[in-house]
């Protein structure tokens, strides 16, 4: 399923620093990740917008059969809007939107809070017939309203020139791949240290080369503080659903926002590989594949292709 990769020492050195591009912090058990790609505020903003939309859509799809999950996804959407912009200190993404369009920022905050209230005030049920059609339709209407406002937020803050820039969209896709990787890892109960170290190991290997045999052996040869769980049992359904949703969102963004911008044979060939990688990634997550499979798809296949094809610049440390 996975192609063998021979990396030059230079490429290995570059790839060693790919771990995560956002500084998202979700609740107390979530970790803030440092930037690795060159700081592109527009790409980070677009990534957050896509994440918010995914979380609200998950809230809708879980309601009314699992109100608790719907509540959790809505809370995550709100926390994303209130997350600090990692490039501009002490400024949240909500405030960034307000600087360009106060109305959209206020209405977006109100719409998200209204969605949370509507879900919270409903009664949990395992049968959709116990929830009135009016309530279900109300939730759907609120989620659609949030999506419309997110679209307005993008138009207010990001120019068409930037939106139509292939590097920007490739960065967004790379960011989402990282979010998928960590969401799926948390879903399986992997520790933050293991997830970060495994991403680094995948790119650096030993002595400057990829040791795929060692990687394929799972826990064999790994230090005790990096041992991965051997079970594919989903331990956190919220994170699992997030990984599923973002994998689908990544395919959507690639097909709608990145693929149409291909202008050279080099990029066209790379896009064909990215397309295959994204399909494999979505399928692997849906099938609850081992975490190692997701690591390979993101850090061994997808990221290197995007970096080479779209000349993504990485942050210097």
pLDDT tens digits, one per residue of 288-313: 999 999 999 999 999 999 999 999 97
Give the Å distances, CA to CA, from 288 to 136, 283, 291. 29, 9, 9
Q: Which of 10-14, 267-271, 306-310 has the lowest mean pLDDT?
A: 10-14
Residue 222's pLDDT band (boundaries 50, 70, 90)?
low
Biggest distance spanned by C-alpha atoms of the chain:
62
Is the CA virtual torsion 254, 260, 265, 266 positive or negative? negative
Tell me how far the alpha carbon of residue 277 is from its chain's centroid. Answer: 15
Set out the domains of the chain in order of their start, with CATH numbers.
Answer: 1-36+160-214+225-311 (no CATH), 38-158 (1.20.120)
b/e string for 54-91 if b means 16 or more Cβ within 10 A?
A: bbbbbbbebbbebbebbbbbbbbbbbbbebbbbeeeee
Please tell me the predicted confidence (pLDDT) of residue 66: 95
Is the CA virtual torsion 5, 11, 17, 20 positive or negative? negative
Is a pLDDT exceeding 50 seen at residue 88? yes
> What's the chain's average pLDDT?
82
């Amino acid at each position: 399923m996975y192609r063998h990769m021979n990396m030059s020492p230079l490429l290995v050195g570059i790839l060693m620093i790919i771990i995560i591009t956002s500084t998202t912090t979700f609740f107390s058990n979530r970790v803030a990740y440092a930037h690795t790609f060159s700081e592109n505020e527009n790409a980070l903003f677009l990534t957050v917008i896509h994440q918010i939309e995914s979380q609200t859509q998950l809230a809708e799809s879980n309601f009314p059969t699992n109100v608790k999950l719907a509540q959790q996804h809505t809370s995550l959407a709100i926390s994303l809007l209130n997350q600090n912009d990692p490039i501009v200190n002490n400024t949240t993404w909500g405030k960034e939107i307000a600087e360009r369009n106060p109305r959209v920022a206020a209405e977006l905050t109100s719409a998200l809070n209204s969605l949370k209230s509507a879900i919270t005030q409903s009664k949990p049920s395992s049968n959709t017939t116990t929830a009135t059609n009016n309530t279900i339709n109300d939730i759907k209407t609120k989620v659609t309203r949030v999506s419309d406002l997110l679209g307005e937020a993008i138009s207010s803050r990001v120019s068409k020139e930037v939106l139509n820039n292939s590097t920007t969209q490739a960065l967004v896709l790379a960011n989402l791949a990282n979010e998928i990787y960590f969401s799926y890892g948390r879903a399986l109960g992997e520790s933050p240290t293991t997830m970060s170290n495994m991403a680094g190991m995948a790119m650096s290997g030993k002595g400057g080369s990829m040791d795929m045999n060692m990687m394929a052996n799972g826990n064999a040869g790994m230090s005790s503080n990096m041992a991965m769980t051997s079970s594919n049992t989903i331990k956190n359904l919220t994170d699992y659903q997030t990984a599923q949703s973002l994998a689908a969102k990544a395919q959507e963004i690639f097909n709608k926002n990145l693929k149409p911008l291909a202008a050279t044979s080099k990029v066209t060939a790379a896009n064909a590989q990215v397309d295959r990688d994204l399909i494999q990634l979505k399928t692997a997550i849906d099938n609850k594949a081992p975490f190692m499979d997701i690591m390979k798809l993101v850090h061994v296949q997808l990221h290197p292709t995007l970096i080479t094809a779209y000349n993504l610049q990485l942050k210097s440390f």
